[in-house]
């Protein structure tokens, strides 16, 4: 491997642990708190998790280690999309495990859950681990999206764990993966395998967050990376003064990433899916909202701007969801063939016009032809519209262009409108973790081992008070079942970790909402620049604006 | 303005000057070298620049300042596309000017050359300047693309200069802007205006480079920013192991940016326009070249990769240029109407088939239909094909996909191919300048004032030996005419600065060529990470790989 100067330098970085974990494994003891309950549907969750439900919240404190002495053989997987800091969870876990005993072993299962199912793993040693300290990516063992959720899969995992003498499994993943970690923990307990399961909260999307988990790891680094390039684009827009940049950012189920980037860069426009849904906004209303900013800025001579669009925005627009449902129905089963047999787009268009309700056809008719065709021609294997393929940044810039043409004809708008498009997602998922994520992840991994050594299972590694300096962070664990409720998924009631959406009465959104009218018209851009790992603490040890606002810092 | 922590911290940075400029303006004296000659067409250039041709190369050294004492009122413009460090040229110029005398004045003309033509300017003071120290962007006074090249424009500039009592004008721009600076200098001298003109070498494209100008400013920061995100994408590709990423980077006339990014990140593929042209490569050959890498990697189980594509690549493909010329001819003048009147794409396609030579039609027929239609439907106001609109990253991924389908049918290729696309340009042009660019630009500006104070005109501010630490940099000036030759532009022979293309026998390309076969098959990615402004010198004071290789470091 050809190492960059930064990668070499980052190897030398010592991640900061919470104060109570800094005195060595021998000086960490456990303090049990109150019994826990799930956030909702307590009876149902309890019935589904008879062996792991209701366990106590736990916190680590300084004191003589009282954990039973036994050889630990831990398996670890990375599950789902990449997030900066995943490598540090593993290095923290490794360091704690080896500090407890040189005989302990850490096995990395490759390619996500598949590694556990196929028993495909590597045994870590110092040289292996050292090559990944404080680096981005999940390339240490790869990741995968297979879901561990069936009894058959659990049995296979248990068997492979037994073959390798595993005492515990650590699952590093998002809300679904940790839901599955809880179910796996319950299976392991119910079957007396003796194998513990611990989860670690990962996702750049920021939607694994609750009263126990202040932030999922990776969100900090990813949003800082997007904000760096969005800030650069803002500065370019404000220099060239001739383009509106429509910037889509990752985040389908929630708009935390878009909101955080907006808080960091103060663009003219940022759409928030949760607000669109709450206010039942239509495509026309959103278009008007953006066009108003373009028009007001143009009146001030500013024919440029920046708009942030969350990847999943159209799925939050109620009328659009209805349209999609109608299209899926319209082309269900054999009807697709009849549709495909129509010779020209004009024929297809008439077919669509007849097949949709008047309301949905009106929505459909608003769309640029390219997107209309995309909705009907590119379907997934089940024949459903692939909403994720819709380039929402281009959709809205097209709609705004059309709206501005009307306003120009009406004489209210006299500016020029030229749009450029960007999509940032893959650019941030594997960045070198910020100092915050490097520290937080290392602590989560280190802490995960402490939970294992003290015999806990079905717990999420929990490090809190993380808006404060690392010295003041609090390490501990929380039963995953505490975060669960029942939700309807694919026609079944399932116990799942409740996904955190942007709260419209939360401090981050309220700060944004209180400022956005000004930002829409003025040029109030903030230029965060590249993530700094060295230098003044106020530059290189800052957390997200979202977390700071949530914690009132 | 809401300042980011990094912006606040960057205000405190003191850019490093070349050693001989560090003792204060009073301790800088000038050393004249040999007379100069233009790189080619000496007689013609001399005849066009009778007052400014053949002047001496000059170098600054430590010693008593012998410049005449007079009040300097300097006007400065930023010309053309943004490049990181432009603000520092201005702050360096301002600091030297004020160090020489508090009575001196610096006027910033707004919006590029237009500011000089419209006499639209701001007079800088400390507070104004301090807000832009070590920041990215051209927002201090804006920029513009108006070309200063006619006698009438020069007369207007001279008049406005006289009104404001200007003693000199500094033009911060690329090859064209500096060519125009030379012509303006000649005009000012020929008309005895007493107004000097000095140029500064700006462009992220890296194509303003010659034996005197080791690098244009902004190239370092822009390529480091692109390399940061390309490196992140490589790490993502190597973690997810399921996508080929086609990454287009800015640079139409030359492929320096692509080459530098490849040297920094070691992707599987990087196309170099100059090589494509030199070897007269066809679209099919390029496609095969990429598909070979995909196939070999797939054979190793690696169904992922990263390919860097320079923005202007198709213009380097000879057969493609012929096709474009034929299309422009086919639809010239009234023929467009006949074409547009054809009812369907099928009719148009038949028209095209008849109208093109067999060779060009074969090329046309290779293209994905979307691009075929784009070539014919989206024309510029002169009716010409807009080659710059072609999404070359998508073009090549489509062509590769088609080629792989053939190979799969033939049984040689058994992998999976799924492509994602990116374009990086605007993301890097306004980044906070790297320490290198912050130092280099500040030095160029400081040095520009020294050239003014010593009475030089038609010179480019020159700082050389820049692959070494700043202490060892050499400050001086070079007549712009020395870099000129005659070239055919729009049907006329014109004196211009020769544009620097990637040299196929130069060290950067040779290093790339010597390694690329390995990179094409192996996963030899390098992850540069974000630009660092603080910390170990080997992390935060490095220059481009291109410059290092050119200078044998």
- pLDDT tens-digit readout, A156-213: 999 999 999 999 999 999 999 999 999 999 999 999 999 999 999 999 999 999 999 9
CA angle centred on B320, ends B319 and B323, rounded to 5°: 90
Asked if the model's pLDDT at residue A376 lies above 90, the reply is no
Whether residue B238 and residue A137 make contact (CB cut-off 8 A), yes or no, is yes
Average pLDDT over residues A149-154: 95
User: Is the distance from CB of B83 to CB of B429 less than 8 angstroms?
Assistant: yes
Q: Which residue has the higher pLDDT, A387 or A478?
A: A478
Average pLDDT over residues B122-139: 98
Helix (H, G, I), strand (E, B) or coil at B469: coil
d(C-alpha B110, C-alpha B119), whole Å: 9
Residues of A in contact with B241 (CB under 8 A): 111, 142
Q: Which residue, among A201, A227, A205, has the nearest Cα to A214 in the 3D structure?
A: A201
Cα torsion B286, B287, B289, B292 to 10°: value is 180
Cα A318 to Cα A311, A461, B538, distances in angstroms: 16, 37, 53
d(C-alpha B219, C-alpha B204), whole Å: 4
CA angle centred on A374, ends A369 and A377, rounded to 5°: 120
Distance of alpha carbon A197 from its chain centroid, rounded? 22
Residues of A in contact with B229 (CB under 8 A): 225, 229, 427
Residues of A in contact with B223 (CB under 8 A): none
d(C-alpha B427, C-alpha B229), whole Å: 10
Calculate the average pLDDT of chain A: 96
Average pLDDT over residues A254-277: 98
Whether residue B426 and residue A239 make contact (CB cut-off 8 A), yes or no, is no
Residues of B in contact with A90 (CB under 8 A): none
Tokens of A67: 């954990």
Residues 6+ apart with CB under 8 A from A504: A274, A275, A278
Written in H, E and C, the secondary structure of B190-219 is HCCCCCEEEEEEECCCCCCCCCCCCCCECH
Task: Provide the pLDDT for residue B340.
Answer: 86
Query: Does A422 contact chain B (CB < 8 Å)?
Result: yes
Whether residue B536 and residue A536 make contact (CB cut-off 8 A), yes or no, is no
User: Is the distance from CB of A466 to CB of A256 less than 8 angstroms?
Assistant: no
Burial of A380 (0-12, 13-18, 19+ CB in 10 A): exposed
Query: Does A2 contact chain B (CB < 8 Å)?
Result: yes
User: Is the distance from CB of B315 to CB of B325 less than 8 angstroms?
Assistant: no
d(C-alpha A212, C-alpha A500), whole Å: 12
Residues 6+ apart with CB under 8 A from A247: A230, A233, A267, A306, A307, A308, A309, A393, A421, A422, A423, A424
Task: Provide the pLDDT for residue A386.
Answer: 83
Considering only CB atoms, B532 lies closest to which of A6, A235, A428, namely: A6
Average pLDDT over residues B319-344: 88
Query: Does A389 contact chain B (CB < 8 Å)?
Result: no
Residues 127-146 of chain B with CB under 8 A from chain A are 135-139, 142-143
Query: Does A29 contact chain B (CB < 8 Å)?
Result: no
Query: A186-190, A333-337, B518-522: which range is least confident on average?
Result: A333-337
Whether residue B2 and residue A524 make contact (CB cut-off 8 A), yes or no, is yes
CA angle centred on B182, ends B71 and B114, rounded to 5°: 75
Residues of B in contact with A138 (CB under 8 A): 239-240
User: Is the distance from CB of B188 to CB of B52 less than 8 angstroms?
Assistant: no
User: Is the distance from CB of A200 to CB of A215 less than 8 angstroms?
Assistant: no
Q: Which of B427, B514, B519, B538 to mutate to test the interface with A (most CBs of A within 10 A)?
A: B427
Whether residue A529 and residue B10 make contact (CB cut-off 8 A), yes or no, is yes
Q: Which residue, among A63, A42, A61, A62, has the nearest Cα to A53 in the 3D structure?
A: A42
Residue length, chain A? 553
| Active-site position among A205, A220, A437, A439 | A205
Tokens of A68: 């039973």
A379: closest CA of chain B, how far (Å): 16
User: Is the distance from CB of B296 to CB of B518 less than 8 angstroms?
Assistant: no
Helix (H, G, I), strand (E, B) or coil at A189: helix
Question: How many pairs of residues across A and B have Cβ atoms under 8 Å apart?
Answer: 199
Residues of A in contact with B533 (CB under 8 A): 530, 532, 535
Average pLDDT over residues B337-360: 92
Looking at chain B, the whole-number percentage of residues with pLDDT higher than 70 is 100
Whether residue A4 and residue B529 make contact (CB cut-off 8 A), yes or no, is yes
Whether residue B431 and residue A139 make contact (CB cut-off 8 A), yes or no, is no
Residue of B nearest to A86 (CA): B239
Residues 6+ apart with CB under 8 A from B409: none
Whether residue B137 and residue A239 make contact (CB cut-off 8 A), yes or no, is yes
Unique residue bearing structure tokens 């049984």: B411
Query: Does A534 contact chain B (CB < 8 Å)?
Result: yes
Task: Provide the pLDDT for residue A331.
Answer: 85
Task: Provide the pLDDT for residue A400.
Answer: 98
Asked if the model's pLDDT at residue A377 lies above 80, the reply is no
At B266, the pLDDT band (50, 70, 90 cuts) reads very high
pLDDT tens for each residue of A434-470: 999 999 999 999 999 999 999 999 999 999 999 999 9
Report pTM: 0.97
Query: Does B527 contact chain A (CB < 8 Å)?
Result: yes
Task: Provide the pLDDT for residue A478.
Answer: 97
d(C-alpha B291, C-alpha B419), whole Å: 12
Q: Which of B173, B202, B228 to mutate to test the interface with A (most CBs of A within 10 A)?
A: B228
At B388, the pLDDT band (50, 70, 90 cuts) reads confident
Average pLDDT over residues A21-41: 97
> B205 an active-site residue?
yes
Tokens of A87: 């490598």
Residues 234-263 of chain B with CB under 8 A from chain A are 235-236, 238-241, 245
Asked if the model's pLDDT at residue A333 lies above 80, the reply is no
Whether residue B136 and residue A235 make contact (CB cut-off 8 A), yes or no, is yes
| Active-site position among B95, B114, B205, B207 | B205
């Amino acid at each position: 491997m050809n190492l960059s100067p930064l990668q070499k330098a980052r190897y030398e970085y010592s991640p900061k642990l919470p104060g109570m974990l800094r005195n060595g494994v021998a000086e960490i003891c456990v303090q049990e708190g109150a019994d826990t309950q799930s956030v909702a549907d307590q009876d149902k969750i309890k019935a589904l998790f008879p062996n792991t439900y209701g366990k106590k919240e736990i916190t680590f404190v300084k004191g003589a280690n009282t954990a039973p002495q036994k050889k630990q053989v831990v398996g670890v997987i990375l599950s789902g999309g990449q997030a900066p800091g995943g490598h540090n969870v593993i290095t923290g876990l490794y360091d704690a495990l080896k500090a407890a005993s040189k005989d302990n072993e850490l096995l990395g299962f490759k390619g996500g859950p598949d590694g556990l199912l196929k028993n495909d793993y590597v045994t870590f040693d110092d040289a292996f681990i050292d090559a990944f300290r404080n680096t981005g990516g999940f390339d240490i063992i790869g990741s995968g999206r297979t879901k561990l959720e069936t009894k058959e899969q659990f049995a296979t995992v248990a068997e492979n764990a037994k073959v390798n003498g595993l005492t515990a499994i650590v699952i590093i993943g998002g809300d679904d993966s940790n839901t599955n970690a809880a179910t796996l923990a319950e299976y392991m307990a119910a079957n007396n395998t003796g194998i513990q399961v611990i989860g670690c909260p990962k996702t750049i999307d920021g939607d694994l967050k609750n009263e126990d988990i202040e932030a999922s790891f990776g969100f900090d680094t990813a949003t800082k990376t997007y904000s760096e390039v969005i800030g650069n684009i803002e500065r370019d827009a404000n220099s060239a003064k001739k383009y509106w940049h429509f910037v889509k950012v990752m985040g389908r189920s929630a708009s935390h990433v878009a909101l955080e980037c907006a808080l960091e860069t103060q663009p003219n426009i940022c759409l928030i899916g949760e607000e669109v849904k709450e206010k039942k906004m239509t495509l026309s209303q959103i278009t008007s909202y953006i066009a108003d900013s373009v028009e007001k800025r143009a009146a001030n001579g500013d024919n440029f701007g920046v708009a942030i669009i969350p990847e999943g925005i159209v799925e939050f627009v109620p009328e659009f969801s209805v349209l999609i449902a109608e299209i899926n129905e319209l082309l269900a089963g054999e009807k697709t063939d009849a549709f495909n047999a129509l010779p020209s787009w004009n024929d297809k268009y008439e077919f669509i016009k007849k097949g949709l309700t008047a309301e949905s056809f009106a929505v459909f008719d608003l769309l640029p032809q390219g997107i209309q065709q995309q909705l009907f021609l590119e379907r997934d294997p089940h024949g459903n519209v692939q909403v994720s393929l819709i380039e929402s940044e281009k959709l809205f810039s097209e709609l705004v262009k059309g709206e501005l043409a009307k306003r120009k004809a009406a004489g209210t708008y006299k500016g020029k409108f030229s749009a450029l498009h960007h999509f940032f997602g893959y650019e941030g998922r594997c960045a070198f973790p910020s100092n915050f994520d490097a520290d937080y992840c290392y602590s989560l991994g280190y802490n995960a081992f402490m939970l294992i050594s003290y015999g806990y299972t079905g717990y999420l590694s929990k490090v809190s008070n993380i808006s404060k300096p690392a010295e003041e962070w609090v390490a501990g664990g929380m039963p995953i079942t505490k975060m669960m409720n029942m939700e309807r998924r694919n026609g079944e009631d399932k116990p799942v970790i409740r996904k955190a959406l942007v709260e419209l009465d939360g401090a981050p959104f309220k700060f944004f909402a209180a400022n956005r009218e000004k930002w829409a018209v003025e040029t109030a851009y903030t230029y965060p620049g590249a993530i700094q790992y060295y230098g003044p603490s106020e530059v290189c040890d800052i957390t997200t604006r979202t977390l700071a606002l949530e914690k009132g810092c």
